[in-house]
Amino acid sequence: MALPVEVSPLTGIIAEEAVVIDFGEHEGKSVLEINDTCPDFYSYLVDQRETGNFSIRRMKNKEYRLYVHTTTLN
């Protein structure tokens, strides 16, 4: 019998401690740390994921980086 996989509302099946914010004042902090210390910002990130304005990329060093895409309107 397979063990249930814990799914994060932000990172999916990737562990929150393995994903690092790659922008803004929280750059370099893990998603797990943001969840614990800045719940409003964590909620913002979840909203961005739900709107598709969000990505997690695996870097060459096997670290996961979280990005929120900005759009510019002229």
Name the pTM for this structure. Answer: 0.81
Q: Is 52 left (phi over 0), alpha (psi -120 to 50) or beta?
A: left
Q: What average pLDDT does range 9-25 have in this prediction?
A: 92
- Domain ranges in the chain are 16-68
What pLDDT does residue 55 have? 93
Average pLDDT rounded to a whole number, residues 42-62: 92
Residue 66 reports pLDDT greater than 90: yes
Determine the pLDDT at residue 6.
79
Q: Could you tell me how far CA 9 lies from the centroid of its own chain?
A: 9
Average pLDDT, the chain: 88
Going by pLDDT thresholds of 50, 70 and 90, the confidence category of residue 2 is low
